[in-house]
């Protein structure tokens, strides 16, 4: 890694020209894209019309700023601000994602993308001439809400996901990633580890809405990330006997819905025995799913998180064992398969300590949420900035960022990028306030 500036650099003259856009203004421009009228909030799964519209929106906004935009084989959009020399090496990367969970909030992902655009505006308004390139990256399928594997784009980029496995991932309608990607103009034959692009990247700083109440309680607008909780996803299928709801006596049933209900209660109780653990069933699918039909199978997706990956493994094993016992009592069987696992990540300490000198009032917080930054952290020095969320709620329409905090976040990001790119902002009034 290129040495960080020894201390927050000297002040740079601010241009009188106001920035071309605001974060809240950019978010308002896309506020109607992918609204989910039945669930509330936004549903913007990868390759949906909504996500495609957002990707096009981003490309147009980046193009308007003179950035060189292209989409790579893994579906990651890169928008480059090159140096005068034009060499793409040791780049500072920022950005986030535009896909959402079903019925998600307005800020998870788009805040980081819009803030990156505004940060570029702020740096251009200051007349900054980067000494190293800057790239804004938009990663696809960060949420894994369509194909089940979170951070799909960054996992492919870094080689953390076997491209064959990715091509065969299926969405809820049984469409493979390969088919859906091809239908959306991407060639799935070429997905996978992209060493050429990786070699261009020097550092990644992702700005994201905070997904808890840490900043609200501390009365601060922006935090520096310290770590991401290890997390994984498993699919548990409970197999029973499909049958008629009216003619099958209660004593004769092999009902996987009953087993699934008991397994979920047991999962919660088991997780409570592991300090710091979180275990969730947020998605459940009975097959065939008729009101007057005893299900033949129930698929449930389990999300488990803990700071220690060995504890996560032990907890999943305990859940599996209990599920087998419960299923047997209900004359059913279970099968468990892992969908993805992301170990606990601690961000680069040198970069984090440097951020602390730049943003002295910003607290250092960890997060229980997953991010592409967690994947990139295994390859390049990586950091995160979090912006206050007064509700503390996320993956829900109730997720919130106040407009003023959104702008403060973008100013903080601009200050960080200026420092990393060779510019200077320590006495920039907005940054100094933090
Ligand atoms: C993504 O936000 C996750 O934490 O699963
Ligand atoms: Mn996110
Ligand atoms: Mn999310």
Q: What contacts 318, CB < 8 A, 6 or more positions away?
A: 270
**Which of 109, 371, 372, 375 is the best mutation target for the ligand 1 pocket, counting ligand atoms within 8 Å of the beta carbon and taking the most?**
371
Do residues 132 and 83 lie in contact, with contact meaning Cβ atoms separated by under 8 Å? Answer: yes
- Which of 8-22, 136-150, 160-174, 292-306 bottoms out in mean pLDDT, i.e. has the lowest? 8-22
The pLDDT of residue 184 is above 60? yes
The DSSP 8-state label assigned to residue 190 in this structure reads G
Q: Give the tokens for residue 385.
A: 């900035």
**Which of 370, 384, 396 is the best mutation target for the ligand 1 pocket, counting ligand atoms within 8 Å of the beta carbon and taking the most?**
370
Q: Whose CA is nearest to atom 1 of ligand 1?
A: 370
Beta bridge partners of residue 232, listed in sequence order: 304, 341
The DSSP 8-state label assigned to residue 10 in this structure reads P
203 φ/ψ angles, rounded to the nearest 5 degrees:
-170, 150
Q: Of the bound ligands, which one is closest to the alpha carbon of residue 112?
A: 2
**Which of 140, 339, 369 is the best mutation target for the ligand 1 pocket, counting ligand atoms within 8 Å of the beta carbon and taking the most?**
369
How far apart are the CA of 10 and the centre of ligand 1, in A? Answer: 37
Q: How do 201-209 and 382-387 pair as beta strands?
A: parallel
Q: Of the bound ligands, which one is closest to the alpha carbon of residue 144?
A: 1
Q: How many CA atoms lie within 13 A of 11 on its CB side?
A: 9
Q: Give the tokens for residue 54.
A: 């957002």
The pLDDT of residue 366 is above 80? yes
Q: Cα Rg for the chain, rounded, in angstroms?
A: 23
- Does the C-beta of 143 come closer than 6 Å to ligand 1? yes
- Does the C-beta of 150 come closer than 6 Å to ligand 1? yes
Residue 432's pLDDT is: 36
Q: How do 68-71 and 382-387 pair as beta strands?
A: unpaired
Residue 6's pLDDT is: 58
Q: Whose CA is nearest to atom 5 of ligand 1?
A: 370
What atom in ligand 1 is closest to the CA of residue 369? 4
Q: How many CA atoms lie within 13 A of 81 on its CB side?
A: 26
What SS3 class is residue 58? helix
Do residues 170 and 147 lie in contact, with contact meaning Cβ atoms separated by under 8 Å? Answer: yes
Of 40, 63, 65, 44, residue with least CA distance to 53 = 44
**Which of 102, 109, 143 is the best mutation target for the ligand 1 pocket, counting ligand atoms within 8 Å of the beta carbon and taking the most?**
143
Q: What is the pLDDT confidence band of residue 8, given thresholds at 50, 70 and 90?
A: very low
The pLDDT of residue 11 is above 50? no
Alpha carbon of 290 to those of 244, 256, 354: distances in Å?
Answer: 10, 13, 57
- Does the C-beta of 141 come closer than 6 Å to ligand 1? no
Residue 10's pLDDT is: 37
Residue 20's pLDDT is: 72
- Does the C-beta of 370 come closer than 6 Å to ligand 1? yes
Q: How far apart are CA 405 and CA 85, in angstroms?
A: 35
How far apart are the CA of 369 and the centre of ligand 1, in A? Answer: 5
42 φ/ψ angles, rounded to the nearest 5 degrees:
-125, 140
Q: Of the bound ligands, which one is closest to the alpha carbon of residue 109?
A: 2
| Stronger pLDDT, 18 or 264, i.e. the higher one | 264
Q: Kindly report the number of other CB atoms within 10 A of residue 13's CB atom.
A: 8
Q: What contacts 278, CB < 8 A, 6 or more positions away?
A: 229, 271, 303, 304, 305, 306, 368
> What average pLDDT does the segment 27-43 reach?
98
Task: Specify the pTM.
Answer: 0.93
What SS3 class is residue 428? coil
The pLDDT of residue 413 is above 70? yes
Q: Of the bound ligands, which one is closest to the alpha carbon of residue 110?
A: 2
- Does the C-beta of 294 come closer than 6 Å to ligand 1? no
Residue 5's pLDDT is: 64
Q: Give the tokens for residue 292.
A: 């007057």
The pLDDT of residue 13 is above 50? no
Residue 19's pLDDT is: 55
The pLDDT of residue 315 is above 70? yes
160 φ/ψ angles, rounded to the nearest 5 degrees:
-80, -10
> What average pLDDT does the segment 327-332 reach?
98
- Does the C-beta of 109 come closer than 6 Å to ligand 1? no
The string of DSSP letters for 84-147 reads: TT----SEEEEEEE----TTB-SSTTHHHHHHHHHHHHHHHHTT---SS-EEEEEETTSS-TTT
How far apart are the CA of 380 and the centre of ligand 3, in A? Answer: 22
- Does the C-beta of 209 come closer than 6 Å to ligand 1? no
> What average pLDDT does the segment 260-270 reach?
98
What atom in ligand 1 is closest to the CA of residue 368? 4
Q: What is the pLDDT confidence band of residue 141, given thresholds at 50, 70 and 90?
A: very high
């Amino acid at each position: 890694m290129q040495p960080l500036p020894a201390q927050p650099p000297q002040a740079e003259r601010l241009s009188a020209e106001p920035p071309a856009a605001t974060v809240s203004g950019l978010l308002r421009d896309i506020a109607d894209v992918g609204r989910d009228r039945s669930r509330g909030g936004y549903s913007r799964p990868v390759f949906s019309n909504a996500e495609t519209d957002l990707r096009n929106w981003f490309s147009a906004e980046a193009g308007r700023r003179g950035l060189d935009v292209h989409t790579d084989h893994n579906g990651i959009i890169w928008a480059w601000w090159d140096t005068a020399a034009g060499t793409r090496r040791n780049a500072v990367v920022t950005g986030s994602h535009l896909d959402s969970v079903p019925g998600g909030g307005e800020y998870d992902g788009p805040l980081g993308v819009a803030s990156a655009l505004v940060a570029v505006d702020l740096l251009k308004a200051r007349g900054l001439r980067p000494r190293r390139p800057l790239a804004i990256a938009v990663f696809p399928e960060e949420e894994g809400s369509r194909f089940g594997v979170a951070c799909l784009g960054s996992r492919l980029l870094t080689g953390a996901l076997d491209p064959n496995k990715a091509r065969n991932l299926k969405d809820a309608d049984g469409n493979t990633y390969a088919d859906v990607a091809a239908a959306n103009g991407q060639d799935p034959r070429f997905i996978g580890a992209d060493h050429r692009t990786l070699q261009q990247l020097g550092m990644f700083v992702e700005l994201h809405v905070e997904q808890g109440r840490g900043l609200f309680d501390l009365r601060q607008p922006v935090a520096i990330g310290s770590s991401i909780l290890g997390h994984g996803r498993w699919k548990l299928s409970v197999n029973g006997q499909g049958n008629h709801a009216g003619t099958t006596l209660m004593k004769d049933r092999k009902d996987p819905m009953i087993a699934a209900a008991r397994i979920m209660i047991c999962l919660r109780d088991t997780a409570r025995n592991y300090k710091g653990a979180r275990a969730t069933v947020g998605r459940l699918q009975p097959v065939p799913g008729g009101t007057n039909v005893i299900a033949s199978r129930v698929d449930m997706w389990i999300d488990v998180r803990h700071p220690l990956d060995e504890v996560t493994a032990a907890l999943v094993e305990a859940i599996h064992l209990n599920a087998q016992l419960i299923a047997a009592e209900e004359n059913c069987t279970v099968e468990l398969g892992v969908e993805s696992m992301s170990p606990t990540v601690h961000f680069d300490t040198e970069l984090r300590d440097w951020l602390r000198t730049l943003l002295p009032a910003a607290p250092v917080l960890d997060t229980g949420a997953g991010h592409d930054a967690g994947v990139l952290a295994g390859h390049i020095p990586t950091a995160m900035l979090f912006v206050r969320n007064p509700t503390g709620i996320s993956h829900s329409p109730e997720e919130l960022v106040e407009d003023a905090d959104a702008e403060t976040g973008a100013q903080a990001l601009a200050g960080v990028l200026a420092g990393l790119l060779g510019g200077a902002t320590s006495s920039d009034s907005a940054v100094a306030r933090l």
